[in-house]
Chain A
């Protein structure tokens, strides 16, 4: 079975620009969660999608938005980039949204905002 694939692996953007990060879920997984991991910190929950609907959101401003497609792949969009948005962005998929289902994480996209 394939794991979670994220693209691109690295990205450099200028403050004020917009960025789209992509995630292909593990085969059969219908739930995807996005996390932001700043350097030296634990992952912070951005939002979760379950069967194409947003299913929960962390403490992130509206300029962080997402989509989940019928094949359960997902996008994270960030508008008006700020320097503090520099981080590793992790995508995690799971078979269902229930807490007893484990997450499979991708290797992340390293975003640098200059």
Chain B
């Protein structure tokens, strides 16, 4: 079975500062990895995904993530955040055709 651990439940950061949201997964087989963002009272929106190939994945809104197989991590980064990036971020893992499993989420708060 696969599981996802998001290491930080809350990350406060000042506007224009860099940010990293950490995600580790556990699985004995190859998986597909995703990051989703959820704004208040909305569903989840896909930021980026890793399926295969280059371990550095670029997504929407200036976010990127790096797949590290040896450390079983898929951390999300942005070099300079905006107030509008304040939201809940979820890391997710999926194996073959099985269901997608989500982490508990990281609340990113960008302060002026």
Contacts and interface: CB of A to CB of B under 8 A. Distances in A.
Given A99-B32, A99-B95, A100-B32, A90 B43 contact: yes
Given A42-B90, A42-B103, A42-B104, A99 B43 contact: no
Contacts of B67: none
Contacts, number: 59
B100 A107 contact: no
Interface in A73-114: 90, 92, 97-100, 102-103, 105-108
B75 interface: no
A58 to B, nearest CB: 6
Nearest to A44: B102
Contacts of A41: 104-105
A104 to B, nearest CB: 8
Nearest to B104: A42
B101 A45 contact: yes
B45 A105 contact: yes
A56 interface: yes
Given A42-B90, A42-B104, A33 B46 contact: no
Contact of A107 (B43, B51, B95): B43
A102 B4 CA distance: 18
A7 B7 CA distance: 34
Listed from nearest, the 9 A-B pairs whose CB atoms lie closest are A105-B43, A42-B102, A45-B99, A105-B44, A99-B94, A107-B43, A99-B32, A42-B104, A43-B102
20 contacts: A33-B100, A40-B104, A42-B4, A42-B90, A42-B103, A42-B104, A42-B105, A43-B44, A43-B90, A44-B102, A45-B99, A55-B97, A56-B97, A56-B99, A92-B43, A99-B94, A99-B96, A99-B97, A103-B44, A105-B36
